[in-house]
Structure 1
Amino acid sequence: MKKISLITTGGTIASKEMSKGLLDSGALSGDELASLCQLPDGFDIKVIDLFQKPSMHINFDMMTAVKEAIEKELEDKSVTGVVVTHGTDSLEETAYFLDLTTNDSRPIVVTGSQRSPQEVGTDVYSNLRNSIFVAANELLHDVGVLVVFNERIYSARYVKKVHASNLQGFESFGYGYLGIIDNDLVSVYQKPIYHESYEIDGNKIPRVEIVKCYTGSDGLFIDAAVQNGVQGIVLEGVGRGQVTPYMLDSIQNALDKGVTVVMTTSAEEGKVYPAYGYVGSAHDLRSRGVILGEDYDSKKARIKLAVLLANGKRDIEQAFKL
C-alpha cells in the first residue's frame, strides 16, 4: 500500500460558507477536509493539519514551516509522496519556494481549489484526489515540486494563476503542462531536465520587494524599499527588460548601497535580453550591475532572489540563467 502524507494549510479548498454568501477561507481542519473527500482506495493517507490560513496570509516563515513539515514526512522512507493543500492566490509562490528549497526524488504536489467544498461544481474533490495519484506515481520522481489543478500537472517554476474564479485557474504560458490525470490514470508527456535546490536551514529569508514599471514611473518605490532596508529588489520592466529613465538614479543608488537588483519583464512569454542601447534598456541596466532575470516573472524572481540571498550564494547572476 502506498503511503501519502497530506499537509493542509487552509485556503478555499478548506473553506466554509459564512453569512451573506461569504467564505471563511481555511476554516476546515485537515481531518475535516479529508473526511469530506472521497479519497482513493488503496492508499495509506496521513493528514498533517499545519495551518488554517487564507493564502494571502502566508509569509516566508510559514513557507519554511511547510518545507520543514514536508522534510519531516520524507524522513520516513516508506512515504511515497507528499500532497500540500493551499489557497490559490499565493499557491504559485509557495510551490516555487518549496521547489527551490527541497531536494528529494519523491513527488511533492501542491493543489487547491477555485470553489469551496459546498459549492455546486466544486473542484475540491477532484483536485485532491488527482494530487494523491500524482504523488504516488513513479514517473514523476526527480522533477521538483508539482502543481495539480483541473486534471493537469504543472511544474512549479512556470505555473501561475491566470483566472480569478474559473476552474481552469492555472497555466504555464509558453511551456505547457507536464501531463494529465484522466479517470485516475496519470499520463506524463514531458519533464523538466534540471532541478535546482538551495540549503536555507536556520537562515532568515531576507526582504525582497517588487517594483513595477509603467509610463512615467520614477524611483519613489525603489527609494522607499532601500530606506526600509531591503536586500533585494525585483524590477518588473516591459518588453525585453526596459524601465523609464526617471527610475535610473534610484536604481543606481540601490546598487551603490549593496542592494541586489534583478530585472524581469511584464510580458507573459520571452526573456529579458540586452537588445537596445538606450538609457533605461536592459543593456544599460546590466552595465550598471542589474542582473537580468531571463524568463522569470516578477513573483517567481522575488522568491528565487530571496532564497539565493538566504543561501548566501554569491553568483546570483549565474543562478538566474538556470
Structure 2
Amino acid sequence: MTKLTVLATGGTIAGIAGSAIAQDYRAGEIGIEDYLEKVGGLGLEAELSGRQIANIDSADMGPAVWNALHPAILEALADPECSGVIVTHGTDTLEETAFLLDLTLPADKPVVVVGAMRPADAVGYDGLRNFANAVRVASDPQAAGRGVLVVMGDRVFAARDVRKVRTRGTEAFRGFPRESIGLVTPSTLEWFGAPWRQGKAALSDWYDDLPEVVIVYVHAALCAEEVLRLVGEDTRGIVLAGVGEGNMPERVRQELALFAQNGIPVVRASRADEGLVDREPEDDANRFVAARALNPQKARILLQLLVAGGITDPAAIQRKFDRR
C-alpha cells in the first residue's frame, strides 16, 4: 500500500462543536492519532502515519508553526518509503500556507493541503470526505510535479491559484486564474492537464525569519496619514490591496512612491476577488510592481520571500510575479 505522512496543524477539520447543529465550535480539538483512528474505518488504500505539528485555529497561523511544518515535510519527503504528504489545516489561512509551501518545497512528491468547513461533530461534516479525497490525490503518482495541491469539496487546486471565497458551505474555494485542475472522489481522480513542475526543485529558499510586509487596504476616502501610521520602522515591503486594477487615491500613490524610491518595494494588488493587475505606464516612474494574478495575501508571502533573499529591485521582483 502507498505510505503517506499526515502532518496536522488543527483547524475546523479537527474542530468540535459539542452539538450536531451548533454554529459555534472550537477549532483544533482532535489530535492526529484520534483523527487517524477515525478515518481508519473508511477503507482508504494507503498506510497513514501522523504527526501533530500544531492544533490551532488557522487565524493564529504564522512563522512559529511554519518553521516547524516545513522541515517536517522535508523530512517526510526524504523518506524513500513515503510516497507523499498530507497537511491538515484550517481554511481561513490555508491558501497562504499552501502558497508558501509551494514556493519553498521541491515538486518531486505530492504535498496536499486539506481542510474542512464544518467541525467533526456537525451534521454534514465534510472533513472525512475531503481527507479521503486528499489520500486519493497524494497516492497518485501523477500528482507529483504539480507543486503543492489543495483538496476541498471534490476539487483539486494548485496552491498558486486557490483562494477561499465563501464563509459558509462546503464549496468555499475557487481557483484563479486557473479553476480546479482536477476532480476527485475517494475512488476516482481526473486531472485536467499534465504536470508542469516535474523534476523541479523549490522555487525559493526557506527563511525562518520573514521580513515585515504590510498590506494597505484601499477604501473610499483612504488618506495618506492612514498609510503612514501603518508603515513602521521595521517594514521592508508594502502590498496594496487596491480598488479595481490595483488603484489608489492620488495622495496615497505619492506616499507609496516615496517609499518605493527609498528602497521599500511596493506591490499593487487588487481587493477584487478575481482579475489580473497588469503593469501600467506610471509603474516605472513610481517603481511599483504589479501583482498580476496574486491576491494581496499571496503577494505578501511572495514579497516576504523575495526581500528575505535580498531581492528588492522592482524589475527583479516583477519578473518573479510574472512567473506562470
Uncovered stretches (5+) of structure 1, i.e. residues with no partner = 275-281
CA contact under 8 A between 2:176 and 2:293: conserved in structure 1? no
**Secondary structure, in 3 states, of the residue corresponding to 2:76?**
helix
Q: Residue 23 of structure 1: which of 4, 12, 25 is its match?
A: 25
Matched, 1:10 2:10: yes
CA contact under 8 A between 2:144 and 2:195: conserved in structure 1? no
Aligned to 2:225: 220
Once the 2 structures are TM-superposed, how far is the Cα of residue 21 of structure 1 from its aligned partner?
5.8
Aligned to 1:93: 96
Matched, 1:245 2:259: no
Uncovered stretches (5+) of structure 2, i.e. residues with no partner = none
Cα gap change, 1:246/1:261 in structure 2, threshold over 3 Å: closer, same or farther? same
1:121-177 Cα offsets, whole Å, 9 max, x none, are 110100011101100101111110000011110001111111111010111144211
1:2-27 Cα offsets, whole Å, 9 max, x none, are 11000000001111225876311101
- What pairs with 1:51-130 in structure 2 (closer than 5 Å)? 51-130=54-133
Aligned to 2:172: 169
**Secondary structure, in 3 states, of the residue corresponding to 1:262?**
strand
- What pairs with 1:227-306 in structure 2 (closer than 5 Å)? 227-274=232-279, 282-306=280-304
Task: Please give the alpha-carbon distance, in whole angstroms, between the structure 2 residues aligned to 1:41 and 1:160.
Answer: 28
| RMSD, aligned α-carbons | 1.9
Task: Normalising by structure 2, report the TM-score.
Answer: 0.91
Matched, 1:318 2:324: no
**Secondary structure, in 3 states, of the residue corresponding to 1:4?**
strand
Task: Please give the alpha-carbon distance, in whole angstroms, between the structure 2 residues aligned to 1:308 and 1:60.
Answer: 16
Alignment coverage as a number of residue pairs: 314
Cα gap change, 1:224/1:189 in structure 2, threshold over 3 Å: closer, same or farther? same
CA contact under 8 A between 1:6 and 1:48: conserved in structure 2? yes
The one-letter code of the counterpart of 1:97 is L
CA contact under 8 A between 1:12 and 1:115: conserved in structure 2? yes
Task: Please give the alpha-carbon distance, in whole angstroms, between the structure 2 residues aligned to 1:134 and 1:262.
Answer: 34
Task: Please give the alpha-carbon distance, in whole angstroms, between the structure 1 residues aligned to 2:281 and 2:242.
Answer: 13
Once the 2 structures are TM-superposed, how far is the Cα of residue 245 of structure 1 from its aligned partner?
0.5
CA contact under 8 A between 1:273 and 1:283: conserved in structure 2? no
1:88-110 Cα offsets, whole Å, 9 max, x none, are 00111111011011113111000
The one-letter code of the counterpart of 2:204 is Y
Task: Please give the alpha-carbon distance, in whole angstroms, between the structure 2 residues aligned to 1:113 and 1:21.
Answer: 14
Task: Please give the alpha-carbon distance, in whole angstroms, between the structure 2 residues aligned to 1:155 and 1:191.
Answer: 13
Aligned to 2:158: 155
Task: Please give the alpha-carbon distance, in whole angstroms, between the structure 2 residues aligned to 1:12 and 1:134.
Answer: 21
Aligned to 1:184: 187
Once the 2 structures are TM-superposed, how far is the Cα of residue 113 of structure 1 from its aligned partner?
0.3
**Secondary structure, in 3 states, of the residue corresponding to 1:17?**
coil
Task: Please give the alpha-carbon distance, in whole angstroms, between the structure 2 residues aligned to 1:268 and 1:163.
Answer: 11
Once the 2 structures are TM-superposed, how far is the Cα of residue 239 of structure 1 from its aligned partner?
2.5
**Secondary structure, in 3 states, of the residue corresponding to 1:24?**
coil
Task: Please give the alpha-carbon distance, in whole angstroms, between the structure 2 residues aligned to 1:115 and 1:109.
Answer: 19
**More displaced 10-residue stretch of structure 1: 104-113 or 236-245:** 236-245
The one-letter code of the counterpart of 2:290 is L
The one-letter code of the counterpart of 2:7 is I
**More displaced 10-residue stretch of structure 1: 129-138 or 21-30:** 21-30
Matched, 1:199 2:200: no
CA contact under 8 A between 1:200 and 1:310: conserved in structure 2? no
**More displaced 10-residue stretch of structure 1: 14-23 or 207-216:** 14-23
